A and B are shown apart, each in its own frame.
Chain A
Amino acid sequence: MSLSVSRSFARPFPLNGHFALKLLVLAVLGLLVAGPLVRILLETLSPDAISAWSDVTTGRLSRNLLWVPLTNTLILGVGVACGCVLIGGFLAWLVVMTDVPFRRTIGLMATLPFMIPSFATSLAWGSLFRNSRVGGQSGFLEGLGLTIPDWLAWGMIPTLIVLIAHYYSLAFTVIAAALATVNSDLVEAAQIAGAKRRRILLGIVLPVAMPAVVAGASLTFAGAVSNFAAPALLGLPVRMQTMATRLYGLIEVGQTSRGYVVAILLIAVSALFLWLGNKVLSGRRSYATITGKGGRAKRFDLGTARLPLFMVALFICLVTTVVPVIILIASSLAPSSSALFSNWTLHYWTGLSNPSIAQGQPGIWESPFIKSATSLTVGLGVAVAITSSIIGLIVAYVLARDGKGPLAGLINQISFLPLLVPGIAFGAAYIALFGAPIGPLPALYGTFPLLLIAGTAYLLPFSVQTGRAVISQVSGDLDESARMTGAGMMRRLVAITVPLASRGLAAGGLIVFVKIMRDLSLVVLLFTPTTPLLSVLAYRYASEGFTQFANAITVVILVISIAATLMANQLQAKSQPWLKS
């Protein structure tokens, strides 16, 4: 069906098939990505709402609406970027360049924290460090008789630590990949010339890794400023607001125009820093041209530091992967988080409603609401993985086969735009655009399609990246020959590119699936009782004080995510070249 439709569509424009496809792609991207963003901007410019700009930026309330949250956001962004580059860079150096023992294990573990949702790490922090400031159950450490000061239990310090523990694997991956490309000839030449290790590190390794360091820093910065879960769970009890939590609060209480203004400013901050990162990178691009495959250089001999450094790396990896997972599992079983390892019960998992426990909430296995949320969340993950893979592949195909001209440039720019937009601001924009009927289209608020298109648009940069990677693996010659025999574009895509790229596409789809499963910031505003999602339910249970239920749901999310990630790793064993010895 679709083949004949596309062919008959293409026939009237035999010369402009590419052009028509480009226009189509541009229209889809415009609706998915640009539309919502333009809409919130227009929304704040309407006569009723324009005063929101002065309220937020200059009025009596501006200090608490914007400036204090902005300062907190920037402190978080800079702190997390520095911490991630230091820890990620250190681990990458150990794994790629030195003779530290168990390099493979460390390398694998260092990529895991990013798969653990940041709200899971935040909940785990709370289970350990919670003090009595806000009442409720105190944490495990206070249960042991220690006194936890407020600054360690709540606010900036725990948020920073949790976010660094979450995002450092991003910096690790980027820097490790760059270090793996350091030309061994250069290092050997330097060694023969008698250069000291420090000299080699500063003179050769660091300059080559510099673009990756900057990229790692700007990616982790963008992640930190847009993160909602960690500051919401750890910061609000001491009234620490970031722009993301302020935006959520404003929208939830119905002050939408003020919320949209904060959203626009948050996008601006995030975009500014990613742009600065790119600027620094483009100035240093010459280093990327060092190519040629020499043999693997001799690894740095760590000597007596070998074991201590290994212990440090192991400690970092354990604390950011195994420990939070153990705490989550334990605290989903323990009636009191101050005694995590005693009186375990399965009530929070399988128990029936009992009025004396947690106001009669049944265990998550018994709650029909959570069952429907699980199927909806998994369904959404699968659906978004499919649609975004398809759109990503088509966008990548268009760019790869004819990437010149202003239209292609525009497509390229728009498809990477969501990377600059924090999830929660994206969610706000989607409500603004699709919350009410547009022309003949019905309103999508509270429907599955809204979640689907928002998720698809949000993850477009990743799926386009995947699409480009798999398309570049498929030789253009095959496509050319097929075209010579008269195959149409869709035919070529379906008969040649997709089958050859299926492995890579499946792996990319699984990554998208995991990102949706564990996402909170995008969906926290799109959530409605008719479209319950696991991550939002976990967040709600946590903020209502039902930590065991929150942790139990989080464990479910973790299990599904990790299973999918391991499958993705199986499919693309090539993705971690630095692990090869």
Chain B
Amino acid sequence: MNMKPLLLSAALVALTLPALAQNAPELDVMSAEELLPLAKAEGTVTVYAFTSRIAAVEKAFEAAYPGIDMVSHDMSSTEQITRLKAEASAGIASADVVYISDAPVVFKDLLEPGLITRYVPPRVASLLDENEKSPLLAQRLSTKVLMYNEEANPSGAPVKNLWELTTEPWKGRVIMVDPLQRGDYLDLMTELVVRSDDMAQAYQAQFGKAITLDDEIETAGEQFIVDLFKNDLILVSSTDDVNAAVGARGQKNPPVGFTSYSDRRDNEDEGWALQVVNTVVPANGIIFPAVLAISSTAKNAAAARLAIDFLMGDDSSTGGAGFKPFYVAGDYATRSDIVSHPDAVPLADLKAWSIDPSATAKIRQDVSDLVLSLQ
């Protein structure tokens, strides 16, 4: 039997199928009111989200639009990317909306091959900066910054220079999520390398001499990562582990750790005393966009757009029900008409590096290999 031609042609047919994915430009210009009846007909919308706060969004969305069932899946960005790629090669359309950080990988691995599509609700377009709506819609800016325990350090942050973290007093007392498991932490490591000049200056300021690099180490940023790991850096698998380790009340000598500034919102509920270290040179971490996009194979195209519209908040100064879970100290809305949360350091005063996704994408793999070689 000669099966080969048959198999080949079948494979070709199968390959062309995903290209027939729905693309609905007419939906892009509709308002929420115009989308609603179409979305109601679809009846459901599936959201992949990188934050557990999506559960609250789901409730609010279903209250605002009865009859449309939001199915939300809380998955890390790294996992979403792996899943979306696997689902695309399998020709499965599972997600409608993708709510994700890890912009460097998202642009390269999801947007470029066309797995996700940009959508900007028309009503918010004029409220966003150009880089907040292209190449993808940024909903808010999130952080991975150094945090400390304000109960144990009543006189303020215990660290003035990042290089202090590589010295004996901080041995085994710096904690973060494994950068190989979470992309935003790899972005943080990468940013340290991108900002090597700043890191070299800070080294000079801390130790009073110019930095000397180990063999095979080329930049001050890489040297910092090496030294940090040598100082028994503790890696955990989720930001909540970092928050609890750093923030739990009643500790005598708590560690410091890199986590989301916005997790300070849970201080009261969880019994934490998290506070941002904002007095540190050269910076306390990174600030990066959380983006919203539509899966190119979305089955519920109208409901997907309605969900993104909802997630962008209403016209009140705090963003209303859709934005409520994100209107917290430490998260910064991209919409210019939503004001910063009163309890947070205003965006302009936050000493965090704003990442450039495309610059990060270039050296991310090398930094990832460096981190792997240190573990």
Interface residues of A (CB under 8 A from B): 60-61, 63-65, 132-137, 236-237, 239, 241, 249, 251-254, 353, 355-357, 359-361, 431, 435-440, 442-447, 528-530, 543-545
Contacts and interface: CB of A to CB of B under 8 A. Distances in A.
A355 B55 CA distance: 10
B230 interface: no
Contact of B52 (A251, A359, A529): A359
Given A132-B245, A136-B241, A545-B240, A253 B56 contact: no
Given A253-B82, A437-B15, 16 more contacts: A61-B369, A63-B373, A134-B175, A135-B175, A135-B236, A237-B236, A251-B82, A254-B82, A357-B269, A359-B52, A361-B55, A438-B11, A439-B6, A443-B89, A443-B91, A529-B75
A436 B369 CA distance: 28
A102 B241 CA distance: 45
A437 B88 CA distance: 11
B90 A445 contact: yes
Given A437-B11, A528-B83, A135 B245 contact: yes
Contact of B92 (A353, A440, A445): A445
A440 B14 contact: yes
B169 to A, nearest CB: 18
B235 A239 contact: yes
Nearest to B236: A134
B355 interface: no
B73 interface: yes
A254 B368 CA distance: 12
B83 A135 contact: no
A436 B89 contact: yes
Contacts of A60: 369, 373
B264 to A, nearest CB: 14
Contacts of A545: 238, 240-241, 244
Interface string B239-268: 011111110100000010000000000100
A134 B234 contact: yes
Nearest to B46: A529
Contacts of B180: 249, 253
A40 B29 CA distance: 46
B175 A353 contact: no
A64 to B, nearest CB: 5
Contacts of B81: 254
A435 B241 contact: no
Contact of B269 (A356, A437, A440, A444): A356
A431 B89 CA distance: 11
B14 A437 contact: yes
A60 B236 CA distance: 24
A253 B181 contact: yes
Interface string B49-70: 0001101100100000000000
A437 B236 contact: no
B375 A64 contact: yes
B86 A445 contact: yes
A529 B86 contact: no
Given A436-B90, A442-B91, A135 B246 contact: yes
B7 interface: yes
Nearest to B248: A135
A439 B375 contact: no
Interface of B: 6-7, 10-11, 14-15, 48, 52-53, 55-56, 59, 73, 75, 78-79, 81-83, 85-87, 89-92, 94, 109, 175, 178, 180-181, 234-238, 240-246, 248, 255, 266, 269, 368-369, 372-375
A440 B234 contact: no
Nearest to B95: A529
A252 B78 contact: yes
A435 B86 contact: yes
A444 B89 CA distance: 10
Given A134-B234, A135-B236, A545-B241, A435 B181 contact: no
Contacts of A443: 89-92
B94 A528 contact: yes
A522 B79 CA distance: 18
Contact of B85 (A133, A254, A437): A254
Given A64-B372, A135-B242, A239-B235, A439 B56 contact: no
B14 A543 contact: no
A135 B244 contact: yes
Contacts of B246: 135
Given A135-B248, A249-B181, A253-B78, A437 B373 contact: no
Contact of B73 (A132, A440, A444, A529): A529
A145 B10 CA distance: 67
Contacts of A135: 175, 236, 241-246, 248, 255
A437 B91 contact: yes
Contacts of B89: 435-436, 443, 445
Contacts of B178: 236
Contacts of B85: 254
Shortest 7 CB-CB distances between A and B: which pairs?
Answer: A135-B245, A443-B90, A445-B90, A135-B244, A529-B73, A437-B14, A440-B10
Residue of A65, A241, A359, A435 with most chain B CB atoms under a 10 A cut-off: A359
Contacts of A136: 240-241, 244-245
13 contacts: A60-B369, A60-B373, A64-B375, A133-B234, A134-B236, A135-B242, A135-B255, A359-B266, A361-B55, A437-B11, A439-B7, A445-B92, A529-B73
A445 B94 CA distance: 11
A531 to B, nearest CB: 10
A241 B246 CA distance: 25
Contacts of A63: 373
Nearest to A258: B372
A528 B245 CA distance: 30
B79 A252 contact: yes
B55 A353 contact: yes
A249 B91 CA distance: 24
A437 to B, nearest CB: 4
B373 A355 contact: no
A530 B94 contact: yes
A173 B146 CA distance: 53
Contacts of B374: 64
B245 A134 contact: yes
Contacts of B55: 353, 359-361
Contacts of A137: 244
Contacts of B83: 528-529
Residue of B90, B94, B242 with most chain A CB atoms under a 10 A cut-off: B90
Nearest to A233: B237
A137 B55 CA distance: 23
A241 B94 CA distance: 32
Residue of B11, B86, B266 with most chain A CB atoms under a 10 A cut-off: B86
B10 A439 contact: yes
Contacts of A353: 55, 59
A239 B375 contact: yes
A135 B238 CA distance: 11
A446 B94 contact: yes
A19 to B, nearest CB: 18
Residue of A61, A65, A136, A543 with most chain B CB atoms under a 10 A cut-off: A136
Contacts of A437: 11, 14-15, 90-91
Nearest to A132: B245
Contact of A252 (B82, B235, B243, B375): B82
Nearest to B85: A254
A545 to B, nearest CB: 4
B30 to A, nearest CB: 28
